[in-house]
């Protein structure tokens, strides 16, 4: 088991290294970092998952410093918390909430601690970090040979972009963690089942449905966006973004249900899922499909209790 655990640590650290060095694959790769934690928790117990998480956090800090630690740390903590919830037989909703809570709490605790060490306010530290990130993105665009007119527009708008990103930070962290855990839980469950290891039984993947009460949260968030107060707009924007991810999952479940009912071949399903993931307008359409499913019940689920299946899926 020690050799197996060492291999797991090496794979996870190598994944972090590659994600940090390959910008295009950074976000996509980092979103799958919880998979080893989920698999090892079910295979070898909590201690093994804890060792993996500690090794990954230490490697991120030593290899890249605080930028990598802040980038990868929340995802690793989310994977560790979700793995524990999954091992305890929690529902998919509680498993995802546990992971998201750990990610958000870990990130903002780290910001608070670093602000104390550097003698800055937490908000000023966040603003400084976001501005630095925007500058790094602009440098990447310059190196990629972006047209001068487009580059000048982005440079002039960089201050506004950074300000909006600061307001969106809670939703960006929560939304990215939701997507990461969604993909990782589906992949980990398939890996566990393929290896004959205990896998969570969350029911059919294409019957998941968000609680109906969330519609009121969507309406409230939209109302806050119309308020003149900037803080109210910030809360509304964060609410809309996070709830958009939730209803995207429900929309994917509707799509998967339709594919299964119509007998769509798996290669075609995979192609359509890839297009949805790559095209922002397609993803927005899927989120709206999930929202409207609350009223129109496209899958004809009726008023039966919602399945605890994971949101979406390639079933």
Closest-CA residue to 129 (of 56, 58, 71)? 71
Averaged over 2-6, what is the pLDDT?
78
Q: Residue 8 belongs to what H/E stretch?
A: helix 2-21
Q: Are residues 117 and 5 in the same domain?
A: yes
Of 32-46, 164-178, 293-307, least confident by mean pLDDT is 293-307
Q: Are residues 160 and 208 in the same domain?
A: no
Statement to judge: residues 253 and 195 lie in one domain: no
- In DSSP notation, 224-245 reads HHTSS-HHHHHHHHHHHHHHHH
Mean pLDDT, all residues of the chain: 83
Quickly state the pLDDT bin for 64 (edges 50, 70, 90).
low
Name which of 20, 287, 314 is nearest 183 in CA terms.
Answer: 314
d(CA 282, CA 286): 6
Q: With contact defined as beta carbons under 8 Å apart, do 86 and 49 qualify?
A: no
- Portion of the chain with pLDDT greater than 70, in percent: 91
pLDDT on residue 1: 55
Give alpha helix (H) positions in 88-147. 92-118, 122-143
Going by C-alpha positions, the residue among 277, 270, 274, 254 that lies closest to residue 204 is 254
Rounded distance between C-alpha atoms, residue 139 and residue 284, angstroms:
29
- 184 with 209, same domain: the answer is no
Please tell me the chain's helix, strand, coil percentages from 3-state DSSP, rounded to the nearest 5.
Answer: 80, 0, 20
Which pair of tokens denotes residue 184?
């990782």
For residue 56, is pLDDT > 80?
A: yes
Last residue of one domain, picked from the residues 146, 179, 202: 202
Is the pLDDT confidence value at 30 over 80?
Answer: no
Cβ(257)–Cβ(216) under 8 Å? no
pLDDT for residue 308: 42
pLDDT digits (tens, 9 = 90+) for 117-157: 777 777 777 777 777 777 777 777 777 777 777 778 777 77
How many angstroms separate the most distant Cα atoms in the chain?
Answer: 61
Query: What pLDDT does residue 248 have?
Result: 95
77 and 185 share a domain? Answer: yes
Chain centroid to Cα 288, Å, comes to 19
pLDDT tens-digit readout, 238-281: 999 999 999 999 999 999 999 999 999 999 999 999 899 888 89
Which long-range contacts (C-beta less than 8 Å, at least 24 apart) are formed by 218-225?
218/243, 218/247, 218/291
Q: What is the mean pLDDT of residues 79-94?
A: 92
DSSP state of 120: -
213 & 198 share domain: no
One domain, residues 191 and 218: no
Comparing 303 with 281, which gets the higher pLDDT?
281
What DSSP line would sit under 144-161, residue for residue?
TT--HHHHHHHHHHHHHH
- Same domain, yes or no, for 171 and 222? no
Closest residue by Cα to residue 188 from 15, 41, 45:
41
Same domain? 278 vs 178: no
Residue ending a domain, among 145, 174, 202, is 202
> Does 112 score more than 80 pLDDT?
yes
Q: How far apart are CA 240 and CA 254, in angstroms?
A: 20
| pLDDT for 259 | 93
d(CA 165, CA 184): 26
Phi, psi (deg, nearest 5) at residue 208: -70, 145
Domain count, the chain: 2
Comparing CA positions, the residue from 137, 183, 224, 136 lying closest to residue 310 is: 183
Q: Are residues 160 and 214 in the same domain?
A: no
Q: Residue 98: pLDDT band by 50, 70, 90 thresholds?
A: very high
Identify the pLDDT of residue 240.
Answer: 94
Q: What is the pLDDT of residues 193-233, one digit of tens each?
A: 898 888 888 888 789 999 999 999 999 999 999 998 888 98
Q: Name the domain boundary from 202, 220, 240.
A: 202
Note whether 156 and 242 are same-domain residues: no
Residue 123's pLDDT is what?
75
Domain span at 120: 1-202
| Helix 66-87 and helix 148-194, axial crossing angle in degrees, nearest 10 | 30
Predicted confidence band of residue 314 (pLDDT cuts 50, 70, 90): very low
């Amino acid at each position: 088991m020690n050799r197996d655990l060492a291999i797991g640590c090496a794979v996870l650290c190598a994944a972090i290294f590659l994600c940090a060095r390959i910008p295009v694959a950074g976000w996509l790769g980092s979103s799958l970092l919880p998979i080893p934690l989920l698999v090892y928790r079910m295979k070898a117990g909590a201690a093994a998952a804890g060792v993996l998480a500690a090794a990954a956090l230490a490697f991120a800090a030593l290899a890249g410093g605080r930028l990598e630690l802040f980038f990868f740390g929340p995802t690793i903590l989310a994977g560790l918390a979700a793995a524990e919830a999954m091992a305890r037989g929690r529902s998919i909703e509680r498993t995802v909430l546990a992971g998201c809570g750990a990610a958000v709490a870990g990130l903002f605790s780290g910001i608070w601690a670093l602000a104390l060490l550097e003698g800055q306010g937490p908000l000023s530290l966040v603003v400084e970090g976001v501005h630095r990130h925007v500058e790094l993105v602009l440098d990447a665009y310059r190196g990629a040979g972006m047209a001068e007119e487009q580059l000048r527009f982005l440079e002039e708008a960089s201050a506004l972009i950074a300000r909006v990103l600061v307001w969106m930070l809670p939703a960006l962290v929560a939304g990215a963690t939701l997507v990461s855990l969604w993909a990782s839980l589906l992949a980990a469950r398939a890996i566990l089942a393929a290896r004959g290891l205990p896998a969570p039984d969350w029911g059919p993947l294409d019957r998941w449905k968000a609680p109906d009460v969330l519609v009121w949260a969507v309406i409230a968030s939209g109302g806050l966006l119309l308020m003149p107060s900037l803080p109210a707009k910030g809360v509304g924007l964060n609410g809309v973004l996070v709830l958009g991810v939730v209803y995207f999952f429900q929309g994917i479940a509707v799509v998967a249900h339709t594919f299964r009912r119509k007998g769509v071949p798996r290669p075609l399903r995979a192609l359509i899922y890839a297009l949805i993931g790559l095209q922002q307008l397609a993803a927005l359409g899927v989120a709206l499909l999930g929202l409207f499913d609350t009223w129109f019940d496209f899958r004809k689920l009726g008023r039966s209790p919602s399945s605890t299946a994971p949101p979406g899926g390639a079933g």
